Amino acid sequence: MRKLLLILFAGALVFFGFGFVSKVDNPEKDKLLLEVISYVLERGHYSPKAINDRFSEQVYMNYLDGLDGQRRFFLKTDINNFKRYKTQIDDQIKGASLDFFDLTYKQMVTRIEQVKNFYPELLEKPFDFNQTDSISLDYENAAYAINLNELKSIWRKRFKLSTLDRFVELKEIEQNKVEEDSNYTPKADTALEVEARQSTLENTQNFFELFEELERKDWFSIYLNAIALQFDPHTSYFAPEDKDRFDASISGKFEGIGARLQKRNQEIKIVEIISGGPLWRDKLIEVGDVILRVAQKGESSVDVSGMRLDDAIKLIKGPKGTQVVLTIKRVDGNIEDIEVTRDVVELEEVFAKSSIITSGKDTFGIIQLPKFYFNVDDYGERNAASDVKLELQQLRSKGAKGVILDLRNNGGGSLKTVVDIVGYFIEEGPVVQVKSIGGRKEVLKDEDPSVVWEAPVVVLVNEFSASASEILAAALQDYRRAIVLGSQQTFGKGTVQNVIDLNRVISGNTYGNLGALKVTTDKFYRINGGSTQLEGVKSDVVIPNRYAEVNVGEKDQENPLSWDRISPATYSPYAPQWSYSYILERSKQRMQDNPLIALVQKQARWIKSQQNNNVYSLKYDDYIKDLESDRARSDEFKALREFESPLSFQWLPEAGSRQPLNDDIREKRKRIDEGLQKDMYVSEAVAILQDLNRNVLGKSPVAQSQK
């Protein structure tokens, strides 16, 4: 069976900055990429688009939004100059021409340099927070500046908002100090304004420093992704470095030293040490240390100061068992060389984890599954399915009478792991139907008659449960093997993506690594024949959450594929062990009787209204009034934050973990259990499990009357 990946990329293209100078300028490679990607998209996409003038117009709009969606750099004259290509991009693609890209790229470099040169002077003079003024952050409807003076005014206003926000924060800190110590003399407003403005300056310097990290190829990736986006929201181009990050995210592991790095002021700094990795295990480095030089064992060292972060990471990472020598500047200023043996580093937060729930004399379990992970190169390595099986066995050994599968915020992953996981709850049968290019249909089945878990199941979902999460919830729902609890519907992503190595598409490539294309190649369907595309999975028990009114699903993305239906697979729902109608009625009644539910609905409406509020006052008094109003509204929902169930939670060591338990992991798991105790959705899931245990058919009043 093919490796099928289901990954949620719900947002549109988001880019924070681009490089000023083209360090690696290779137009011929760009032309080749354009040809290869258009070839793959036209022949390999599930629903290819006609590359015509309409297509061109959409690429044009998405590309400009990717470059300068906040209208910070381009002038109206620039846009007028670009418009001649609005209906010509299709011809540019077919002819592998870079004229439009080169024009926008060069003009963006020019404009960024201009902003970089003038922004410091905008922060030299104090801001007057007594003036009546406001700013709109409705970027979508904002006009481009007519000239540089107007562009300066736009930047000045945004600086003022940022500085005002920090000024208010500093002023509150001073007021708190006075309340704690009546003898404390607070800083003057003028001093606080200077401090706040300096903070804005430093943040802006860091912002432009990030720009300098990127090269022409990063800009070109934006252009390629604007093209890919027209086919559907989940088709995208991966530059070589992005493909590496993708593989790490889907497998939950990588090979290296076990640290997260950040570049600030031309220094590469350790900002986090990953638990279980070589640095953590051998206590070699501390957060805040700076990496000055990198050497492979037995080779000369390379100065990484001023180097692009991605390039430095390439030197630092490497295969398990190899050595790298780092020259480190400690936080105290000492400089020393340390030798690190690289190893496999597991990202603990990605993997399945379980806790025992105690409610009176009843014991239940919850398995939290952030994604359906697997090793891209070797499915036999640690994956979500094998870990969930171990967690289920662990919970069963603890006497759990039911389990909650928490798929909230799970954006997808490997489809094969879903088939395996569903198989733990049914004897055997179809799990999902996959329809490929040309209409070919494949039914993926669980062929193992053994059942790992026979007790009741509740699946927790929300609007951010997507792709593989939806297939798992749908299959258990169709088999009547679980009750789905959560939002009105899940995300609604019913498409399958495969990652195609572009280097294998052509032969004789002399331009280096071309990267990869994640392209939609299939649609999947429930075993009942319905698609989860756009419609998602409808919860059996709907509990609203704070995002209930926010448009976040597949239907709210650009260019989603349509919903449709195919013939159902041959399957038999489980003979009812429980009176589901009775169970669901009891749950709905609890929702009606719960005053917090009405409060959640009110909060959701408020959050929706806040989304549409894009105008902010730049006058201190008005800003404070708005802030106090927001805080007052937030206080209305205090009861939601204070909710605490009578349940008790005890986390279990991860059954699939190869890392030793350590204080960091213990603290993380403790906080997770504290969060579960304040989670009313988990509380209702437990109540449903209790009903399922107490109301087996033949015992409940409803069931008896149905005999």
Q: Which residues are catalytic, by number?
A: 467, 478, 493
DSSP E strand stretches across 526-620: 541-542, 615-617
385-421 burial code (b ≥16 CB/10 A, e <16): bbbbbbbbebbbeeebbbbbbbbbbbbbbbbbbbbbb
Q: How far is CA 377 from CA 348, 374, 597, in A?
A: 20, 9, 45
Q: Which strands, in side-by-side order, build the sheet including 353-359?
A: 541-542, 483-486, 457-461, 403-406, 362-368, 353-359, 648-651
What phi, psi does 349 have (nearest 5°)?
A: -70, -15
Give the largest Cα separation in the chain, rounded: 83
Q: How far apart are CA 225 and CA 469, in angstroms?
A: 26
**DSSP letter (8 states) at residue 598:** H
How many CB atoms neighbour CB 644 within 10 A? 12
316 three-class SS: helix
Q: How far is CA 706 from CA 632, 699, 700, in A?
A: 51, 11, 10
293 three-class SS: strand
How many CB atoms neighbour CB 569 within 10 A? 20
Residue type, 471: I
Q: How far apart are CA 19 and CA 210, in angstroms?
A: 8
If you write DSSP's letter for every residue of 41-96 in order, what string do you get? Answer: HHHHSSSPPP-SHHHHHHHHHHHHHHHHTT-SS-BHHHHHHHGGGTTTHHHHHHTT
Q: Judge residue 505's burial from the number of C-beta atoms within 10 Å of its C-beta, 0-12 exposed, 13-18 middle, 19 or more buried.
A: middle
Handedness of CA 97, 100, 104, 109 (dihedral sign): positive
The residues that bridge with 696 in the sheet, in sequence order, are 578
Length of the chain: 707
If you write DSSP's letter for every residue of 84-102 in order, what string do you get? Answer: GGTTTHHHHHHTT--HHHH
201-223 burial code (b ≥16 CB/10 A, e <16): beebeeeeebbbbbbbbbbbbbb
132 three-class SS: coil
Q: How far apart are CA 167 and CA 195, in angstroms?
A: 8
Instruction: Give residue for tokens 């490497």.
Output: 318
